[in-house]
Amino acid sequence: MIAWMRGRALHVLLILALLGITAFQAGRVLRTEREVVDAAGGGGMALPLDDSFIYLQYARAIAEGHPFVYTPGNGPTTGATSLWYPLLLLPPHLVGAGPSVAIAWVFGLGVLGYFLVALLAWRLATALGGWPAGLLACALVLASPHVLWGALSGMEIALYAAVLLGATHAYLRERGNARFPTLRWWALVLAGARPEGAILCGVFALLAFRDVWRARARDGIRRSVVPATLLLAAAAIPFLVNLAVSGTFESTSSQAKSILAEPYSETRMAYLFGLPRIWLAIGKTFLSFLLPGHPPGGGTVLHGAFGAVSAAGLLFFVLAGRLAPARWPATGTLIALLGAGLVVCALPVHWWVHYDRYLQGLFPLFLVTVAAGWGRLSALVPARAPRAVTIAATVAAIAVPAGIAVPKLLPEQHDMIILYGYNCQNILHQQVAVGRWIDQNLPPDAVVGMNDAGAIAYYGRRSTVDLVGLTSPGYARVYRSGLGCLFEHLRRRPPARIPTYFAVYPEWFPYWPESGIFGPEAFRAHLSVNTICGGTDMVVYPASWIDTAPTDRPGVADGLSPGLALVDSLDHAWLADERRHEWRSEPEAKDVLRRYPFGGRGNRPATDGGRIIRGSERFRIHARPGSDLTIVMRTDAWYPSRLRVTVDGADAGVWSIARSESVWVEPRFTIPGRLITRDAPRIAIHRESTSGEENYAPFRYWFYQ
């Protein structure tokens, strides 16, 4: 009884200590943010990521009665990466509170999440490696700059991390009887916390099925597979919600960021074939406690001190698990979860952005595993060894890794808190400033095209078009296909959904100001020191759309025989038209956007999107069999070209196109009617190479008979 009371007292003392440290850390962050923001001119409280405001806007949409519809006029989307997190942000919006209260609420949730991550890390590590492991896990979590930043970022990181730790602990407790009475609830929350959580929920389901079969063999009693099936059902929930909301299993955020949604197969395959290198880089990043910076491409250098602590902890964890059969199931569970987690961490193409925020949710589980390995160090001491040796191993299990890591982590954490303040100042003085300007200056019926979807929509309170595709349906693939494709998509939207203003980073949209899309600059938010934003300047432009209307006929129609009628046309870079014509190119053609006048005329220029073809293209058209087919191509003809034309494999001749000088030209080629043998012929055009650097660029084909 006395021992139980002592244990409970120590438990209470630890919780109180965690509460005190959490409050201290929150105070440090708030004080630093206030100092940094005030030094730059003030403006209120903010969050360190624009994406945090995406969650707030989705929460406000739920409170206003249109869940999944980001702003009025948009279709339903699943751009909120977490299914449950927007629900946690509902209370301030349900009572009509303003942004300051909502931000304070988000910060408070982050503080709570930080405390829960540390508490659950202590509990799980203690279960895996004893009280030394629990104390070490607490020390590593509380000293980590990334755990603190992630918890207070306004994102779902702390929710995902805490629930993953809780689910792992619940599984290890309940795996013996294979009934999982509490794991099913943890799994339900885990699956909706992040897409990675749904995948790891599937891992729990597979482990649970294994436990059911083993329990049947061990006890000779028929065990129900219902609990394990419920875990699998929980894993499927977010994907089924995606399907119900947007017609696809893939969330809108995944469409905008995942390598699986990359529209260019060559780029996608190059990334997938490079996955071993990427996984190695992610592994090094974890071993280095997420501290090294990452150059574009995802490279990293292993940090020696942290690498030694991590590698030794993982080694001890595995060795102790192998030496003690009773511990091996727990060891295998952590290996499976971390292995699967590492694999899915590579799905975002830019996995290293924002201080490795896509790794931060899994990171506390990694720290627990390292701490549990060090905690198991005493288990590696022979049973006959003197008690002093066992005590020394126990002390070393805490002192050695903590003595190496914590003194190095704390200065990094101090720097991260300062960065957090600058992050908030950046968001406040750029995206928030733009949103406030929009709210105060644009008409209520304005439609704002934007590339950062969070604070602009939340503060601007206007209908928006998310050009990147996170929160507007149908844009993710188009944006990732290129700006020419985005232009072709935008100019064909219904009039009520074509942006009347743009709030963008100009460098993200090269050539758009010169293409008649942007009008004169209306507002600019400049950052003297940029620590987190996608650009130094965000600019608001009125939409112009001068010379951008799609043309149904060639710009220079004279010279065509009077009896010819248009039977089909193919508009390059308009993805819907390319799909309709089964258009393909080899190698894959990239998009291009140009604005020129037509050659030989004093007319206004026209803006058009097209493709740069370095090899060949093929497509299917509608035609009348037996009639000559005249093809008119709109091109800028940067290079002279000899194009070999074939119809269903039959040679139709060579199409020679002379070089042009910064004007649209529309050369023609006629295919003899004898080669048109069916109403849907496949036409192939192959450029006869004269130089590897040259190409031809079709922007539009018209077909006459």
Q: Is residue 212 part of a domain?
A: yes
Last residue of a domain, one of 423, 449, 471: 423
Q: Say yes or no: 593 and 676 in one domain.
A: yes
Q: Minimal CA–CA distance to 401: which of 140, 143, 148, 142?
A: 140
Q: What is the pLDDT of residues 266-321, one digit of tens each?
A: 999 999 999 999 999 999 999 999 986 544 444 556 677 899 999 999 999 999 88
Does residue 363 contact residue 290 with C-beta atoms inside 8 Å? yes
Structural domain harbouring 677: 566-704
What DSSP designation does 223 have?
P
Residue labelled with tokens 């219904």: 494
Amino acid at 468: V
Amino acid at 151: A
Q: Say yes or no: 385 and 429 in one domain.
A: no
Q: What is the pLDDT of residues 538-555, one digit of tens each?
A: 999 999 998 888 877 887
**pTM above the 0.85 mark?**
yes
- pLDDT at position 6, please? 52
- pLDDT at position 505, please? 97
Three-state SS letters, 129-193? HHHHHHHHHHHHHHHCHHHHHHHCCCCCHHHHHHHHHHHHHHHHHHCCCCCCCCHHHHHHHHHHH
Q: Is residue 60 part of a domain?
A: no
Does residue 521 carry a pLDDT above 90?
yes
Q: Minimal CA–CA distance to 634: which of 657, 603, 652?
A: 657
Amino acid at 527: L
Q: Is residue 552 part of a domain?
A: no
Establish whether the linkage from the previous residue to 238 is cis, with ω within 30° of 0.
Answer: no
Question: Which sign, positive or negative, has the C-alpha torsion 80, 84, 89, 91?
Answer: positive
Q: Say yes or no: 532 and 622 in one domain.
A: no
Q: End-to-end alpha-carbon separation of the chain, Å? A: 97
Q: Is 98 exposed, middle or buried (0-12, 13-18, 19+ CB in 10 A)?
A: exposed
Decide which of 691 and 507 is more confident: 507
- pLDDT at position 600, please? 64
Q: Say yes or no: 375 and 454 in one domain.
A: no
- pLDDT at position 160, please? 98
Lowest mean pLDDT segment, chosen from 161-165, 396-400, 441-445: 396-400
Neighbour tally for 526: CB within 10 Å = 13
Q: Say yes or no: 199 and 321 in one domain.
A: yes
Q: What is the pLDDT of residues 77-118, one digit of tens each?
A: 999 999 999 999 999 999 999 999 999 999 999 999 999 999
Q: Is 175 exposed, middle or buried (0-12, 13-18, 19+ CB in 10 A)?
A: buried
- pLDDT at position 383, please? 64
Q: Minimal CA–CA distance to 115: which of 48, 20, 193?
A: 20
Q: Say yes or no: 429 and 407 in one domain.
A: no
Q: Give the CATH number of the domain where residue 683 resides.
A: 2.60.120.260
Does residue 30 contact residue 58 with C-beta atoms inside 8 Å? no
Taking the C-alpha atoms of residue 521 and residue 531, their distance in angstroms, rounded to an integer, is 24
Q: Say yes or no: 640 and 587 in one domain.
A: yes
Q: Is residue 84 part of a domain?
A: no
- pLDDT at position 602, please? 59
If you average pLDDT over residues 369-393, what whole number do you get?
A: 82
Does residue 413 contact residue 144 with C-beta atoms inside 8 Å? yes
Q: Is residue 113 part of a domain?
A: yes
Q: Is residue 632 part of a domain?
A: yes
Q: How confident is the model at residue 429 (pLDDT cuts 50, 70, 90)?
A: very high
Q: Is 12 exposed, middle or buried (0-12, 13-18, 19+ CB in 10 A)?
A: exposed
List of residues 6+ apart from 65 with CB closer than 8 A: none
Does residue 645 contact residue 683 with C-beta atoms inside 8 Å? yes
Q: Is residue 259 part of a domain?
A: no
Q: Is residue 6 part of a domain?
A: no
The whole-angstrom distance between residue 411's C-alpha and the CA centroid of its chain comes to 30
Lowest mean pLDDT segment, chosen from 40-44, 64-68, 451-455: 40-44
Q: What is the pLDDT of residues 542-596, one digit of tens each?
A: 999 988 888 778 876 666 777 889 999 999 999 999 999 999 999 999 999 999 9
Last residue of a domain, one of 388, 423, 458: 423
- pLDDT at position 387, please? 78
Three-state SS letters, 358-381? HHHCCHHHHHHHHHHHHHHHHHHC
Taking the C-alpha atoms of residue 153 and residue 357, their distance in angstroms, rounded to an integer, is 9
Last residue of a domain, one of 403, 423, 443: 423
Does residue 595 contact residue 606 with C-beta atoms inside 8 Å? yes
Q: How many domains does the chain have?
A: 3
Q: Percent of the chain, pLDDT > 70?
A: 95
Q: Say yes or no: 23 and 152 in one domain.
A: yes
Q: Say yes or no: 103 and 181 in one domain.
A: yes
Neighbour tally for 185: CB within 10 Å = 16
- pLDDT at position 382, please? 67
Q: Say yes or no: 610 and 513 in one domain.
A: no
Q: Say yes or no: 321 and 369 in one domain.
A: yes
Lowest mean pLDDT segment, chosen from 155-169, 443-457, 598-612: 598-612
Q: Minimal CA–CA distance to 350: which of 244, 249, 262, 450?
A: 262
Decide which of 58 and 7 is more confident: 58
Q: Say yes or no: 493 and 598 in one domain.
A: no
Q: 249: which 2 tokens? A: 């299993």
If you average pLDDT over residues 408-429, what whole number do you get?
A: 96
